Amino acid sequence: MESGMPRTDGDTSVYPSHVMKTASPRVLIADDQPDVLEALRLLLKGDGYQIESATSTSGISDALDAREFDTVLMDLNYTRDTTSGAEGLELVSRIHAMDPMLPVVVMTAWGSIELAVEAMRRGARDFVQKPWENPRLLSIVRTQVELGRSLRKEQRLEAENNLLRADGRPTLIAQAPAMQPILQLMARVGPSDANVLITGEHGTGKEVVARMLHALSNRASKPMVTVNVGGLAEGVFESEMFGHVKGAFTDAKTDRVGRFELADGGTLFLDEIANVPLTQQAKLLRVLETGELERVGSSKTHRVDVRILSATNANLSEEVTAGRFRGDLLFRLNTIEIQLPPLRDRREDISPLAAHFLNMHAKRYRKHLTGFDGAAIQILREHPWPGNVRELDHTVERAVLMAQKSTVAAADLGLAATSTGGLQTPRLEDMSMEEVESFLIRKALRRFGNNVSQAANALGLSRSALYRRMQRHGI
């Protein structure tokens, strides 16, 4: 995530090592005898592990609070002349309660099998007896590291289930000449790890492009996690994005993985990025710069390797000038910028898009429709489409439901004749509240050339309230 530059080949050296999830596993070793620690350090270093050590139970706790480890290898006795193992056992229980996914391997003296069994009962995953045999110790550590990693992954996958849409490539129809440079750019930057900012009016297909970029990348087998960051309330922003630990606040009954961690190894799509308030922008920036975050309520640092795609229909440079958006954050986000043209500037795509939506909705509603009749096509081509592709999608969906013959007729579209630009004034008394609202919003948008801020102002709504309503009405 850190590297702004597109990756050109399989070389991962452009990444600073701290964002590499595949960095060598980190093992915490603990014993009160320095010579034991030294021997373990040499042995494990030689096998490619990063080692930290502790000489007391409080040292172990501190290290675990500060960092993420793949495995803990610990002795059970820390006070001179004790062999009961009580201190160590106590700590094993505590570690297991705090982080059941963290593999703990205990070391015991030869012959004290009962102690090892007790440790396992309290949550240790394995044990080694001292003096140990090097190959056996290495094999235990290796197994536990791998097991721990796959358990963590499973925990993440489970959390992802609710978030993710069906994967596979989205359909992106783009035959118009205006779309060709965009397709070329996508083909070039898709496979890279470059952060991409996607801009364009509402409904132009920003999310489709984001999904396509993810599908083109070598992260495609990993999740793409989408967050409407503009819609997150101040109070939940941090916990949603970075996660929290149990007890961090009143409602935090359990640990929670944040969206950044869910997207680890994959792509994080930050939608409506312009609507993020400045205080939260600062928090995002920090993670984007360092690749590190802390869950709310914890001081432990987690590393994440995430590619960031973001989208907005605002002009972020203008937002920066106006002091509403941080320039340094924009700089992180827009390594590459893809600007999607409105549908009215790519009219060649109207027919293929309409045909695609007709197919889709006819299948869904089990209707046998072969296409549009001539007059219907004409209206579709001439309509100004202020709501862009999404408006076309919804129009076709409605027409599919309305159609009585095997082709969609002009009347089924429910669009006005072209001279009124699709917004003929209907009789208010014939409309539902919903329709009136939709009508007023469309009208305001047209009046202000689709400038959402000005339209919101005229309607007496906040920008985000207007966005929500537009989304609801498919504008």
Ligand X SMILES: Nc1ncnc2c1ncn2[C@@H]1O[C@H](COP(=O)(O)OP(=O)(O)OP(=O)(O)O)[C@@H](O)[C@H]1O
103 versus 200: smaller Cβ distance to ligand X = 200
Site for ligand X, residues 234 to 263, rule: CB under 6 A: none
Q: Is 202 near ligand X (CB under 6 A)?
A: yes
Q: Which of 152, 214, 390, 442 binds ligand X (CB under 6 A)?
A: 390
Give the nearest distance from C-beta 207 to Mg ion in angstroms: 4
* Short-list 215, 232, 308, 241, CA closest to 269: 308
Q: Which stretch, 1-9, 165-173, 249-257, 364-372, contacts ligand X (CB under 6 A)?
A: 165-173
Helix or strand (DSSP H, E) at 53 = strand 50-54
Site for ligand X, residues 307 to 326, rule: CB under 6 A: 311, 313
Q: Which of 32, 126, 193, 207 binds ligand X (CB under 6 A)?
A: 207
Q: According to the 3-state scheme, what is the secondary structure of 5-40?
A: CCCCCCCCCCCCHHHCCCCCCEEEEECCCHHHHHHH
Residue 450 to residue 471: CA distance in whole angstroms: 14
| Burial (Cβ within 10 Å: 0-12, 13-18, ≥19) of residue 8 | exposed
| Burial (Cβ within 10 Å: 0-12, 13-18, ≥19) of residue 150 | exposed
| Burial (Cβ within 10 Å: 0-12, 13-18, ≥19) of residue 421 | middle
Give the nearest distance from C-beta 276 to ligand X in angstroms: 15
Q: Which stretch, 24-32, 143-151, 388-396, 458-466, contacts ligand X (CB under 6 A)?
A: 388-396
108 versus 204: smaller Cβ distance to ligand X = 204
Place of tokens 């309503």: 469
307 versus 390: smaller Cβ distance to ligand X = 390
CB 7 within 8 A of CB 13: no
Q: Which stretch, 102-110, 284-292, 386-394, 456-464, contacts ligand X (CB under 6 A)?
A: 386-394
Phi and psi at 72, nearest 5°, equal -115, 130
Q: Which of 122, 125, 206, 256 binds ligand X (CB under 6 A)?
A: 206
Site for ligand X, residues 92 to 151, rule: CB under 6 A: none
**204 contact choice in Mg ion, ligand X, none (CB below 5 to 8 Å, kind-dependent):** ligand X
Residue 197 to residue 325: CA distance in whole angstroms: 14
Q: Which stretch, 79-87, 198-206, 442-450, 456-464, contacts ligand X (CB under 6 A)?
A: 198-206
Q: Is 174 near ligand X (CB under 6 A)?
A: yes
Give the nearest distance from C-beta 146 to ligand X in angstroms: 39
Q: Is 172 near ligand X (CB under 6 A)?
A: yes
* Short-list 86, 27, 14, 87, CA closest to 53: 27
**393 contact choice in ligand X, Mg ion, none (CB below 5 to 8 Å, kind-dependent):** ligand X
On the CB side of 442, CA atoms within 13 Å amount to 24
Residue 280 to residue 115: CA distance in whole angstroms: 49
Q: Which of 204, 275, 334, 395 binds ligand X (CB under 6 A)?
A: 204
Give the nearest distance from C-beta 466 to ligand X in angstroms: 12
Using CB under 6 A as the criterion, what x/- string covers residues 328-357 for binding ligand X? -------------------------x--x-
DSSP string, 393-427: HHHHHHHHHH--SSEE-HHHHTPPPGGGTT-----
Spatial CB neighbours of 179, under 8 Å, sequence gap ≥ 6: 341, 346, 349
Residue 283 to residue 237: CA distance in whole angstroms: 10
Nearest residue to the partner ligand X, using Cβ: 205
Give the nearest distance from C-beta 463 to ligand X in angstroms: 13
The packing angle between helices 374-382 and 388-402, to 10°, is 160
Q: Which stretch, 3-11, 42-50, 204-212, 365-373, contacts ligand X (CB under 6 A)?
A: 204-212
Give the nearest distance from C-beta 344 to ligand X in angstroms: 14
Site for ligand X, residues 3 to 32, rule: CB under 6 A: none
Q: Which of 19, 120, 208, 458 binds ligand X (CB under 6 A)?
A: 208
Residue 195 to residue 275: CA distance in whole angstroms: 19
Residue 298 to residue 66: CA distance in whole angstroms: 9
Spatial CB neighbours of 366, under 8 Å, sequence gap ≥ 6: none
Give the nearest distance from C-beta 313 to ligand X in angstroms: 5
Q: Is 397 near ligand X (CB under 6 A)?
A: no
247 versus 352: smaller Cβ distance to ligand X = 352
CB 52 within 8 A of CB 38: no
Note the residues at the interface with Mg ion (CB under 5 A): 206-207
Using CB under 6 A as the criterion, what x/- string covers residues 274-313 for binding ligand X? -------------------------------------x-x
Binding site for ligand X (CB under 6 A): 171-174, 200, 202-208, 311, 313, 353, 356, 389-390, 393
